[in-house]
Amino acid sequence: MNLRALTENRGFPWMAAAARVAAGGPLAFSGFMKLMSPPEELALTMEAYRILPFSLIPPFARLMPWGELFVGAYLVVGFFIRLSGTLAAGFYCMFLTALLSAVVRGISLNECGCFGQGGPHLSGWGAITLDAFLLLFALAALLDRRHYLSLDRLHLRQKGPLPE
């Protein structure tokens, strides 16, 4: 059984909605927790990865938490599912790339910086595993065509009957 068949199975319409919440919830929470801390804390964590040029770190540290918060929240409520799911998958790919790059280059990170200073603190491999599963959930949400329990579905209903 492929992933699309699993998420669109008539007996389990809630699976795609659960995948949306599983992918979007941690992203929104992560963005919120980072916004509760000064952006300089995230900038220091980003600097430890040694990926971005120093001049890009401060603006990236200010904007990324807002992106995580909105993309995650949109995915949870099912608003612009295709766009928010694509952006969430992009975030998780970016996080996986940064984490794997640090591991391969032997950079020792005290914490991944996933949830800022106030959230759970994960090791490199713990964060890699979490992000890999969250990426799978984001991809499952992208494959859903029925948009069960979503704002998109409400919007589609206003336009006429939904295709089965």
d(CA 141, CA 128): 20
Helix (H, G, I), strand (E, B) or coil at 149: coil
Residue 164 has pLDDT above 50, yes or no: no
Mean pLDDT of 82-111: 90
Could you read off the pLDDT of 13-62 as tens digits, one per residue? Answer: 678 888 899 999 999 999 999 999 999 998 988 998 899 999 999 999 99
Give the pTM. 0.83
Residue 8 has pLDDT above 60, yes or no: no
CB-count burial class (<10 Å; 0-12, 13-18, 19+) for 98: buried
Task: Return the pLDDT at 159.
Answer: 58
Task: Return the pLDDT at 113.
Answer: 79
